[in-house]
């Protein structure tokens, strides 16, 4: 029924038009697309990507869609979406929104794969591609606002595996021009394919969450296009029968207003967070705080000398899966407040090389980790919009040096400049592409609205 919450979402997906995207929304979403392609390209150099790719190459029929970092190799559309989704999240380098999720990686690979899947006479334009991308973002954002639980750092389900799957389904449904009824069913089918537990954070399985979200959302739309049906009230709160509410402890769904004058896209109100280094978003607060106190220490002592430090006090929010005192793998290190603070203190930066095995296992880092003390101030909540990071160095001399970060550079309140974003993209893409192709992608994304065939991307 159109008056239901689920029906309102289907009507929104069906009714969204390019003219409903403001210039702000278009520009912000193009920045997201460019950044996501970059992190996907550098992610194609990782071991977890290679594992996923070897699996997908077992299924070679219908190979029409491209794979990040592998010129000439194509897979079936859904497996290309899966593989590229894994690449995007393989380093935890992809964008993050609030409430917490990784929106681009769950949507973009599905659209890239679908645009190559469609026949020549039905290729979506760049503007249609951009619209579908924003529909996928909007659905994810609106679903997260149904629960107060979603506003905090997650404890149960990894958000992109939940809202990302439905966002991918919505984006694919838009690109495939499904009817309102089919859009309803695509959301319902996607809900049956969604969800992954947070216990797999900091393991090689975590990138599968984004790979599955983009793949399974595309599959849901393709199944709906072929007549498969699902519960048309999947997003509604039906007493005694859990639908999408199964993923949340508190669930209060609201209808989505029709696109146009009555509707403002969430991306219009709130920008996205782009990461400067490949680690969990929470790490960016402690790294900036650590770099700040490191500068104070160098001014104090002339150089950074760990032997002068008695203890390193981290004031961070309570979040068990990113409180890891002695990480032993790159994925654990990307999810460790302690590691990222100490790496920043020792090296004066955190980057791709910080998470190599040799960097993680070096003796001076392990010794500094042994000096870390963690505190959880009551005012430091596990929420990406409200948290802060504080690093204090207690010296043997009795002096105390402190650095604090409320908003890191790259947060939605402090967005990366165009220069910084392009620098990140060029650096990431250079691991697998020559300079001329890197610049061609930048030009294509910048002029996406004017691209006659989005599969060129």
Residue 51: the pLDDT is 82
pLDDT at 2: 56
Tens-digit pLDDT profile for residues 28-42: 999 999 999 999 999
pLDDT reported for residue 60:
67
pLDDT, residue 62, reads 80
Low-confidence ranges of the chain (pLDDT < 70): 1-2, 58, 60, 261
User: What is the model's pLDDT at position 263?
Assistant: 86
With 0-12 / 13-18 / 19 or more C-beta atoms within 10 angstroms meaning exposed / middle / buried, residue 38 is buried
Which two tokens mark 354? 């910080």
Domains of the chain in sequence order? 5-276+416-456 (1.10.4100.10), 281-405 (3.30.1330.120)
The predicted model scores a pTM of 0.93
């Amino acid at each position: 029924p159109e008056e239901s919450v689920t029906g309102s979402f289907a009507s929104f997906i069906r009714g969204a038009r390019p003219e409903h995207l403001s210039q702000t929304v278009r520009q912000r979403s193009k920045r997201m697309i460019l950044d996501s392609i970059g992190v996907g390209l550098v992610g194609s150099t990782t071991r977890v990507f290679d594992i996923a790719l070897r699996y997908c190459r077992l299924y070679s029929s219908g190979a029409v869609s491209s794979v990040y970092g592998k010129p000439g190799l194509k897979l079936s559309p859904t497996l290309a979406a899966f593989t590229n989704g894994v690449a995007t999240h393989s380093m935890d380098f992809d964008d993050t929104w609030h409430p917490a999720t990784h929106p681009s990686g769950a949507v973009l690979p599905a659209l890239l794969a679908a645009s190559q899947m469609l026949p020549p006479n039905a290729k979506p334009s760049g503007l249609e591609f951009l619209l579908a991308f924003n529909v996928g973002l909007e659905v994810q954002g609106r679903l997260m606002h149904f629960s107060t639980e979603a506003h905090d750092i997650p404890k149960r389900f990894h958000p992109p595996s939940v809202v990302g799957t439905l966002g991918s389904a919505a984006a694919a449904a838009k690109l495939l021009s499904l009817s309102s009824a089919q859009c309803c069913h695509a959301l319902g089918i996607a809900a049956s394919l969604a969800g992954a537990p947070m216990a797999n954070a900091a393991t090689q399985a975590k990138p599968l969450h984004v790979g599955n979200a983009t793949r399974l959302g595309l599959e849901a739309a393709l199944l709906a296009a072929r007549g498969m049906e699902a519960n048309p009230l999947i997003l509604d709160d039906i007493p005694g029968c859990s639908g999408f509410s199964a993923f949340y402890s508190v669930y209060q769904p609201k209808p989505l207003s029709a696109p146009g004058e009555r509707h403002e896209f969430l991306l219009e109100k709130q920008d996205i967070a782009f990461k400067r280094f490949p680690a969990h978003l929470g790490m960016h607060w402690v790294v900036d705080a650590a770099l700040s106190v490191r500068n104070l220490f160098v001014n104090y002592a002339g150089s950074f000398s760990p032997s002068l430090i008695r203890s390193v006090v981290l004031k961070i929010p309570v979040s068990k899966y990113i409180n890891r005192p002695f990480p032993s793998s790159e994925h654990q290190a990307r999810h460790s407040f302690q590691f990222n603070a100490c790496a920043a203190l020792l090296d004066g930066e955190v980057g791709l090389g910080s998470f190599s095995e040799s960097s993680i296992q070096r003796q001076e880092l392990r010794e500094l980790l042994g000096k870390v003390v963690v505190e959880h101030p009551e005012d430091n909540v596990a929420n990406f919009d409200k948290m802060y990071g504080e690093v204090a160095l207690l010296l043997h001399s009795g002096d105390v040096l402190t650095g604090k970060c409320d908003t890191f550079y790259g947060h939605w309140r402090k967005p990366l400049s165009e220069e910084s974003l392009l620098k990140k993209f060029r650096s990431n893409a250079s691991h697998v592409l020559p300079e001329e192709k890197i610049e061609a992608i930048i030009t294509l994304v910048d002029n996406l609205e004017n691209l006659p065939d989005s599969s060129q991307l």
